[in-house]
Chains A and B, each alone.
Chain A
Amino acid sequence: MTVLVPITYKGGVYRHDIIIDLIDDLGGYIVQKHMIAQEVVLQSLVPKDDIELIRKISRPLAGVVYEAPLVGTEIAVVSPSLEIHHLPHTSCDVAEYLRSAGAKTNMIGLARGFGKRIANLNIEERDIINEHDCAVYMLGNFESCIEYKMPALRKGITVPIILTGRPPTEALQRIIDPPVDGSVGGIGRIGHRTKQQEGEIEHLDRLVEEVARVISQKREEVAKDPLSVNPARLMAVLDDAMEITKGSTHPTPIVVQIRALRVKLPYDTYADAIAAIEIENGVKIGDITQIFPSRMRDYILIRIRPFSETKILV
């Protein structure tokens, strides 16, 4: 089986269709395509051996190809609230930084995540966070406060958690019991945008590394019992059959996760139609996936079942 690696292609609009066709011909998938003025950004999964070929072909078009470890993941950036105390600075900087590494981020401002004793997580928030590949918790500046409120905020969360706060990483690791999947210190509540490399942006770089580490662990776990279909391929099949991207105004109408897809269509109207779409050789989407209503608006969440359950690999 070809190993697909996540990359980002950045280049001009002029003749970018060559790159799109090339990725398609090589058996890769374009997970997200952004057209920003004269620039095109393609978040893609491509065969590892062909990265050099894409680089070579994109050079005359002034395109740049670089590995983006978080392409094909959906990450929840959890902020204690959406008030001026926590937004826009740290939360937006973190979300933006993770997006530049290829992730699709959703910012989740908790209804009552602020304070110390009063902090809590409601059921809807818990379910929405659990629909992501991992959650980045953006907590504050005091060790004792983080230690006290963290058990309430992580209750019922089943996805990996990466905790950030102002105390140093070692302090965060010491106070959190049981340990979370990743911790990055030095990112707490601040009153300005992160501009300095030292003491600010370096922590964001460390956060991307930590998230990439957690995500690659999750990918390895999935590889032990492979999915019946690659999520990026399922996205391509679904989009071809229903032309979702063409008919939608969402920036990312289909979001690829490590073992699932989020489709931004109403569940009641489209769930059955999606289940009936044939992937190949009579295998339908409904045969190898579970289709749920998402807790996020009225979207559809398609969880891909592993090979061990379905005995089908397409």
Chain B
Amino acid sequence: MKGMEYFEVECVEPVGAETYAQIADDILSDLNLNQSIGRLHIYIDPETPLFLAVGVIKKMPGLVHIRDFASALGTEDGVVLDIGAETYLSPMLTILWDTYGRDLIIQPDRFTVKIMVPGLDPREIENLMVVDPSEGMFHDIIYALQWIAPEGFKVRRETIGEGHFSYVASENTLDEEETDMLLKEKFACVGVTV
């Protein structure tokens, strides 16, 4: 898979392994996650049946501040924000409403937001943090793995650690000791000791 340091699908059936490598590639690309995961090892045992995936996050996306998509200008009445991209407008408005109250936030058009509080420092406003994309990252990865894994594997165990994750799924009960051993073994493949 492009952009990944290590990617391996392990399965006794080579045709199945090859197809699942393609499925994982398609789904991670669709969800824009292929640049965020550095190492991924998928283990499939069709006999048990069991689907296991362990991986390492390559880079966490940075925090988004108001300055990243808008510029602030101080006026007599308050601060005027000139919006460059609307992607984060909604979470920004929520934060401004909660901080200053709805009455004092005016939006005359799509690309302008006025904070009607005199004496505000525009630099302070620009430095406000709006979104932390890493919060949704693990959620997105687990969703992607649910999609990659065969349907009907409803018995699941997911773990999230410091920059790494695991996902185990089956239609049968998961034996805790065996699963732990297997996870340890597969985590070693991606260079993680648990």
* Interface residue ranges, A against B (CB under 8 Å): 80-81, 83-86, 112, 114-119, 140-145, 166-168, 188-192
Could you tell me if A115 and B151 are in contact, using CB atoms closer than 8 angstroms? yes
| A117 CB contacts on chain B under 8 angstroms | 49, 171-172
25 residue pairs of the A-B complex, CB under 8 angstroms, read A80-B151, A85-B147, A86-B151, A112-B152, A114-B150, A114-B151, A114-B152, A115-B151, A116-B152, A117-B171, A141-B15, A141-B20, A142-B13, A142-B16, A142-B46, A143-B46, A144-B13, A144-B46, A145-B49, A145-B150, A166-B15, A191-B22, A191-B24, A191-B25, A191-B26
| B150 CB contacts on chain A under 8 angstroms | 85, 114-115, 140, 145
Instruction: Determine the distance from Cα of A308 to Cα of B146 in the docked complex, in whole angstroms.
Output: 55
| B19 CB contacts on chain A under 8 angstroms | 141, 166, 188-190
Could you tell me if A190 and B46 are in contact, using CB atoms closer than 8 angstroms? no
Give min CB distance, A215 to chain B, whole Å. Answer: 28
User: Chain B: which residue is nearest A191 at the CB level?
Assistant: B26
Instruction: Determine the distance from Cα of A149 to Cα of B22 in the docked complex, in whole angstroms.
Output: 24
Instruction: Determine the distance from Cα of A290 to Cα of B11 in the docked complex, in whole angstroms.
Output: 52
Kindly list 14 other residue pairs between chains A and B, CB separation below 8 angstroms, not including A115-B150, A141-B15, A142-B16: A85-B151, A86-B151, A116-B46, A117-B49, A142-B44, A143-B15, A143-B16, A144-B13, A145-B49, A167-B13, A188-B19, A189-B19, A190-B22, A191-B25
Q: Which of B13, B26, B44 contacts A190 (CB 8 A)?
A: B26
Could you tell me if B15 and A144 are in contact, using CB atoms closer than 8 angstroms? no
Q: By the criterion of a CB under 8 Å from any partner CB, how many residues of chain B are at the interface?
A: 24
Q: Which of A115, A142, A144, A190 contacts B23 (CB 8 A)?
A: A190
Q: Which of A80, A85, A114, A192 contacts B26 (CB 8 A)?
A: A192
Could you tell me if B46 and A119 are in contact, using CB atoms closer than 8 angstroms? no
User: Chain B: which residue is nearest A144 at the CB level?
Assistant: B46
**Contact flags B105-135 to A (C-beta < 8 A → 1, else 0):** 0000000000000000000000000000000
| A81 CB contacts on chain B under 8 angstroms | 151-152
* Interface residue ranges, B against A (CB under 8 Å): 11, 13, 15-16, 19-20, 22-27, 30, 44, 46-47, 49, 147, 150-153, 171-172
Instruction: Determine the distance from Cα of A85 to Cα of B151 in the docked complex, in whole angstroms.
Output: 6
| A190 CB contacts on chain B under 8 angstroms | 19, 22-23, 26
Could you tell me if A168 and B15 are in contact, using CB atoms closer than 8 angstroms? yes
| B151 CB contacts on chain A under 8 angstroms | 80-81, 83, 85-86, 114-115
| B147 CB contacts on chain A under 8 angstroms | 84-85
Could you tell me if A116 and B15 are in contact, using CB atoms closer than 8 angstroms? no
Instruction: Determine the distance from Cα of A192 to Cα of B19 in the docked complex, in whole angstroms.
Output: 11
Q: Which of A118, A167, A168, A191 contacts B171 (CB 8 A)?
A: A118
User: Chain A: which residue is nearest B24 at the CB level?
Assistant: A191
Give min CB distance, B131 to chain A, whole Å. Answer: 26
Give min CB distance, A213 to chain B, whole Å. Answer: 24
Could you tell me if A141 and B16 are in contact, using CB atoms closer than 8 angstroms? yes
| B22 CB contacts on chain A under 8 angstroms | 190-192
| A84 CB contacts on chain B under 8 angstroms | 147
Instruction: Determine the distance from Cα of A141 to Cα of B42 in the docked complex, in whole angstroms.
Output: 15
Instruction: Determine the distance from Cα of A118 to Cα of B49 in the docked complex, in whole angstroms.
Output: 11
Could you tell me if B153 and A191 are in contact, using CB atoms closer than 8 angstroms? no
Q: Which of B11, B20, B30, B49 contacts A116 (CB 8 A)?
A: B49
Give min CB distance, A172 to chain B, whole Å. Answer: 11
Instruction: Determine the distance from Cα of A77 to Cα of B130 in the docked complex, in whole angstroms.
Output: 48
Instruction: Determine the distance from Cα of A81 to Cα of B44 in the docked complex, in whole angstroms.
Output: 21
Could you tell me if B172 and A191 are in contact, using CB atoms closer than 8 angstroms? no
Give min CB distance, A158 to chain B, whole Å. Answer: 26
Q: Which of A118, A141, A142, A143 contacts B152 (CB 8 A)?
A: A118
Instruction: Determine the distance from Cα of A291 to Cα of B172 in the docked complex, in whole angstroms.
Output: 45
Instruction: Determine the distance from Cα of A213 to Cα of B152 in the docked complex, in whole angstroms.
Output: 34
Instruction: Determine the distance from Cα of A116 to Cα of B150 in the docked complex, in whole angstroms.
Output: 10
Name the residue among A114, A116, A119, A142 with the largest chain B CB count within 10 angstroms.
Answer: A142
